[in-house]
Structure 1
Amino acid sequence: MKKLLSLTFLFILAAQAFAKGPKNQYVSIKTAYGQCIIRLYNETPKHRDNFIKLTKQGFYNGTLFHRVIQNFMIQGGDPDSKKAKPGQELGNGDVGYTVPAEFKDSLFHKRGVLAAARDDNPAKASSGCQFYITEGKRFTDGKLDTLEQTRLKGRKIPSWQRDWYKSVGGVPHLDQNYTVYGEVISGIDMVDRIAAVKKDAHDRPLEDVPMTVELLNKKSCKALDKILGLD
């Protein structure tokens, strides 16, 4: 009887382990310039959950990457962009709420991160819908030193982050000012292509770049967790 109970208990544990969902949520962003896959950070749950909610609603589908700056970032998620006329200035659309800032020392603006846009507010609260993906550029130690003394007002960039900014690139002056809540794990070339398109005086692409944003299913998320060593 005891042996039977032990085997039953083991089967229950095994079933529970198999039934556990993925540890991370991944999303795909598709455009005419390709597709990228983004892992949403669990360290920023408010931003993660808000992005998941809007994606489930289909909110982002048909919105544009309305502001693109090469070697910096591409920005999208403005609901007004869905029916925008050519040449119309965009970037002021919202969903009527903000998301509290979630700054983490471990999360920084390396190349390929997903981060929240915002207006100028003392709490640095994020837009409820607009986001950007960094393209960035590489920095030298000298340029990072200058950045610390000027735009960062004396804040020191940790050495391990310096290594990223020198080898991979990013946008260090945005750190601790805008919430980073995900990163591209595949398809960064889509960002590069969009960042390079021709644009107008407001940095809006001359030809619209609409997007489709979808949540990956649990099976795909678990597979990516395993590939990335995050399971």
Structure 2
Amino acid sequence: MHLKKILLFAPFLLLTACGIPLLSKKGGQQPHYIELSTSYGSSIIRLYDETPLHRDNMLKLVRDGFYDSLLFHRVIENFMIQGGDPNSKDAAPGERLGEGEAPGPRIPAEFRDSLFHKKGVLAAARDNNPEKASSNCQFYIVQGQVFTDEQLDMLEQTRLEGREIPQWQREVYKTIGGTPHLDQTYTVFGEVVQGLAMIDTIAAVETDSFDRPEKDVKMTIRELTRREVRRLEYEDNQL
């Protein structure tokens, strides 16, 4: 395995369906949402204000059109879908991807105890650097799997170095699912609030020996307007 490779380590099998609350305003601050679209549909993602470095980096790239026509180049069912490598834009069929970066440095890790790898979260990929700093462009969205208490106990002993999973997070992993072994190791900085079915659909596509989809899955990402965000808030309040 190349240490430079921008990917998730230990592809542990993981997940199911979920419903995720839309909004969390702090001090009246306007929340930031992006729409990720593919030929399989679209998803609305809220970016977390608790991870401002990752949020602002994503917004800059989105506003610059960086992600337009890039691929989901690494897909593992019951685990995650990964994209954002700039080398994927004009990649030849079967070409191995995952080492591309945007101009600029890595993004410092922003681990938060309250942000964890439940199904539908947006997180930053990274290479094997000791600071666990994030790629400045590559990301993944968790599909994952549902866990039992026994499986979570085993993870605590073998993969989490004795760190206990809080009970409220356990309940999420036992119902919605996710990838708990990645917590506090990769930065989580957003979550899908609409269109989770697209993630399940992409996760199920046929892939080659490098986990690249046999048929290219191209993406576009745009930032939602204030009017669209207000409509999301209104629709959420009607539920």
Q: Does TM, normalized by the shorter one, top 0.5?
A: yes
1:40 equivalenced with 2:47 (yes/no): yes
Residue 127 of structure 1 aligns to a residue whose secondary structure is coil
Partner of residue 191, structure 1: 199
Q: Quote the Cα distance in structure 2 between the aligned partners of 1:170 and 1:227.
A: 26
1:45-73 CA-partner distances (Å, limit 9, x unpaired): 00000000000000000000000000000
Give the structure 1 partner of residue 34 of structure 2: 27
Specify whether residues 23 and 227 from structure 1 end up closer, same or farther in structure 2 by C-alpha distance, changes over 3 A only.
Answer: farther
| Distance (whole Å) between structure 2 residues aligned to residue 212 and residue 192 of structure 1 | 18
Corresponding position of 1:151: 159
1:133 maps to which residue? 141
Alpha-carbon distance between aligned partners in 1 of 2:192 and 2:56, rounded to the nearest angstrom: 17
Alignment of 1:48-197 (within 5 A): 48-95=55-102, 96-197=104-205
**Residue 23 of structure 1: how far off its partner (Å):** 2.0
Contact 1:22 1:218 in 2 (8 A): no
Following superposition, the deviation at residue 224 of structure 1 comes to 2.1
Q: Structure 1, residues 166-205: CA drift from partner, whole Å, max 9, x if none? A: 0000000000000000000000010000000000000000
Between the two proteins, the alignment pairs up a number of residues equal to: 210
Q: Which amino acid aligns with 2:123?
A: A
Gaps of 5+ in 2: 1-26
Deviation string, structure 1 residues 89-122 (Cα, Å, up to 9, x no partner) = 0000001421010000000000000000000011
CA–CA separation in structure 2 for the residues paired with 1:33 and 1:193: 7
Aligned to 1:4: none
Query: How large is the Cα RMSD of the aligned pairs?
Result: 1.3
SS of the equivalent of 2:144 reads: coil
Measured in 2, the distance between the counterparts of 1:209 and 1:21 equals 37
Q: What is the TM-score of this pair, normalised by structure 2? A: 0.85
- Provide the C-alpha distance between the structure 1 equivalents of 2:68 and 2:146, rounded to a whole number of angstroms: 32
Q: SS of the residue aligned with 2:122?
A: strand
Match of 1:13 in 2: none
Q: Which has more radius of gyration?
A: 1
Does 2:214 align with 1:206? yes
**Distance (Å, rounded) in 2 between the aligned partners of 1:169 and 1:61:** 30
User: 1:77, 1:130 within 8 Å by CA — same for their partners in 2?
Assistant: yes
Whether 2:235 is the aligned partner of 1:216: answer: no
How many Å separate the matches in 2 of 1:142 and 1:228?
A: 35
CA shift for structure 1 position 21: 7.9
